[in-house]
Structure 1
Amino acid sequence: MANFISFLLLLSLLSFFPMCLCNKKLGGYLYPQFYDYSCPQAQQIVKSILAKAVEQEPRTAASLLRLHFHDCFVKGCDASLLLDSSGSIISEKGSNPNRNSARGFEVIDEIKAALEQECPSTVSCADILAIAARDSTVLTGGPSWEVPLGRRDSLGASLSGSNNNIPAPNNTFQTILTKFKLQGLDLVDLVALSGSHTIGFSRCTSFRQRLYNQIGNGKSDLTLDQYYAAELRTRCPRSGGDQNLFFLDYVTPKHFDNTYFKNLLEYKGLLNSDEVLFTKDQESAELVKLYAERNDLFFEQFAKSMIKMGNISPLTGSRGEIRENCRRINA
């Protein structure tokens, strides 16, 4: 099994080089130096504004990391998620995965306004999301990586894509893995990227079923530590309290580390989609054990998987546009 895990990690490693991502199947030619001449201050502007936002509201980091993920899984990494409803556009913000939970849009607005002042019509909203996801990780103690850039923004959104493509908290392991594979991501990416749940919150409505009726027999999920379940029930009742918030990682909730995986080993993963990584698949379970033991390997793979995810079907060249306002397409 150890050799198999090493093989999986090697395959994932090889998929990231060279750093200049030129995968025509995924539609892009992205490279970290894209704005070096057209807007050399771009990344510093994003980092500066985001740092202030995270200092004022630490939850912002997890929110922006999640926005990038939810954007890339729908039509690719094209900032379609940021569009408000208007004309023929029905916003993805109203989908089941995003309604009452996607947040951080005002921070993106502030970053975009500053970039438009510095370099008008130059830096895409899709690239802002990718940079902000990296900086959110770093600001909370996680790894850094060079973000390949050059994405352009979509001219539309997909509400159905948002409802169907993004893994749900109650999906089975196989369903989650299938949704990742449809995006060109593999088992290693699934486990590593799930580690982003080391920061942030989840709502009671996202895991209530595990507390009261996991398989339709009126009992709690047997793969959830029962003392932990009892504690969760004090603030997540059978009815009501849908929006009550709980740490995804109750041990180090504001620090990006591998404690998330250690929690899974103790059957204290908050969401069903977290715990199944350890309980429903042997290969996945071995990766959970590995990352729980080796924070450095988790960090290394997380960075690689984020780069890989950020290259899902980007719009480049003359496709799409550079939005002046991330909430609407240009006039």
Structure 2
Amino acid sequence: MALPIKGCSLTCAVALFLMLLSTTTHCTTSIRRAISAERRMAASLIRLHFHDCFVQGCDASILLEDSASIKSEVNAGQNKDSVRGFDVIENAKKEVESICPGIVSCADILAVASRDASVAVTLVDVAAPPMLAPLDLVTPNQLDNNYFKNLIQKKSLLQSDQILYSGAPTKDIVTEYSKSRSTFSSDFASAMVKMGDIEPLNGSAGGIRKICKVVN
């Protein structure tokens, strides 16, 4: 997130930084509460960020509801009755707006939510509902490299996943990640940052919504 501080004194810039730090802390707290209440929400927030960024960039457009001028991405075939976590983003936005109105965009909050969700599933267990089959049979509740170890052992639940270990170049990637959790974690973090930089709206091209599901 970049903010214009042209013409702002050093004292002003420091004050702005401290305000944003406090705001991000409140946003993070709200998101982590939601993940604690429903552990599966972590994966949903990561997916929500992914689906937003891969349709014309990371602009939080996936959060917009249908209107006279907007055809919501939520109702697209790939998203309908599938993507979730909208209330978590709206609640975080509401908390941020109460502290620092008109500064932090919905796209920023969606990115922070994805980051915090990634941390949550890396460090703690995330229990899935009993009717869902885990894609990783060894550590189904964590974001680690056992998924790749399972592919090598031909234990993937989905044939479409198992194909990743059937030939180059993906076979070499699977092998590398299966041997090093740190390499996978580092590359995953780097990929998330790169994804978050896909065509962000800057200046007059975008706007900071007060409520993420509708335009101002």
Q: TM-score if structure 2 supplies the norm length?
A: 0.85
Aligned-partner Cα distance in 2 for 1:260–1:120:
42
Deviation at 1:272, TM superposition (A): 4.3
Alignment partner of 1:264 out of 138, 148, 151? 151
| Counterpart-to-counterpart distance in 1, 2:212 and 2:135 | 29
The structural deviation recorded for 1:55 is 1.1
- Structure 1 residue 59: deviation in Å? 0.2
Task: State the alpha-carbon separation in 2 of the partners of residues 102 and 273 from structure 1.
Answer: 21
| CA offsets 1:228-249 (integer angstroms, 9 cap, x no match) | xxxxxxx9xxxxxxxx632232
- Give the corresponding residue for 2:84: 103
Query: How far apart in 2 are the matches of 1:292 and 1:276?
Result: 15
Percent of paired sites with the same residue: 44
C-alpha displacement at 1:256, in angstroms? 1.4
In 2, the alpha carbon distance for the partners of 1:272 and 1:114 equals 43
For the pair 1:47 / 2:28, whether they are aligned, the reply is yes
| Residues 316/60 of structure 1: CA separation in 2 closer, same or farther (3 Å cut) | same
Aligned to 2:164: 277
Report whether the alignment pairs 1:78 with 2:59: yes
Distance 1:102 1:304, change over 3 A: same
Which of 170, 173, 182 aligns to 1:296? It is 182
The C-alpha deviation readout for 1:291-322, integer Å capped at 9, x for no partner, is 01100110111111111111111111221100
Aligned in 2, Cα 1:97/1:271: closer, same or farther, shift over 3 Å?
farther
Match in the other structure for 1:119 = 100
Are the structure 2 counterparts of residues 310 and 41 from structure 1 closer, same or farther at C-alpha, using a change threshold of 3 Å? Answer: same
Question: If each structure's helix is expressed as a fraction of its own residues, which one has the higher value?
Answer: 2
Residue 41 (structure 2) aligned to one of 48, 51, 60: 60
C-alpha change, 1:272 and 1:88, in structure 2 (3 Å) is: farther
How far did residue 250 of structure 1 move?
Answer: 2.9
Unpaired stretches in structure 2, ≥5 consecutive residues: 3-13
Query: Structure 1 regions of 5+ residues with no counterpart?
Result: 1-19, 21-32, 143-198, 202-234, 236-243
Name the CA distance, whole Å, in 2 between partners of 1:295 and 1:286: 15
* Cα displacement (A) at 1:39: 2.4
- How much has 1:328 moved relative to structure 2? 0.8
Contact preservation (8 Å) 1:278, 1:284: yes
User: Contact 1:84 / 1:90 at 8 angstroms: preserved in 2?
Assistant: yes
TM alignment of 1:242-257, pairs within 5 A: 245-257=132-144
Q: How many residues align?
A: 202
Three-state SS of the structure 1 residue aligned to 2:133 is: strand
Residues 1:314 and 2:200 are matched in the alignment:
yes
Q: TM-score, normalised by structure 1?
A: 0.57
Contact 1:84–1:93 at 8 Å: present in 2 too?
yes
Question: Structure 1 residues 320, 92: closer, same or farther in 2, change over 3 A?
Answer: same
The one-letter amino acid paired with 1:285 is K
1:130 aligned to 2:111?
yes
Q: Please tell me whether the aligned partners of residues 62 and 200 of structure 1 are also in contact (alpha carbons under 8 angstroms).
A: no
Please say if residues 141 and 255 of structure 1, whose CA atoms lie closer than 8 Å, have aligned partners that are also in contact.
Answer: yes
Q: Find the aligned partners of 2:42 and 2:165 in 1 and give their Cα distance.
A: 26
Cα RMSD (Å): 2.5
Q: Deviations over 1:182-215 (max 9, x none)?
A: xxxxxxxxxxxxxxxxx797xxxxxxxxxxxxxx
User: Separation in 1 of the partners of 2:156 and 2:23?
Assistant: 37
Q: Give the CA deviation at 1:105.
A: 0.7
Q: 1:46 offset after TM fit, Å?
A: 2.2
Q: CA–CA distance in 2 between the matches of 1:269 and 1:90?
A: 37
Cα distance between partner residues in 1 of 2:157 and 2:95: 37
Q: Secondary structure at the match of 1:306?
A: helix
Correspondence for 2:121: 140
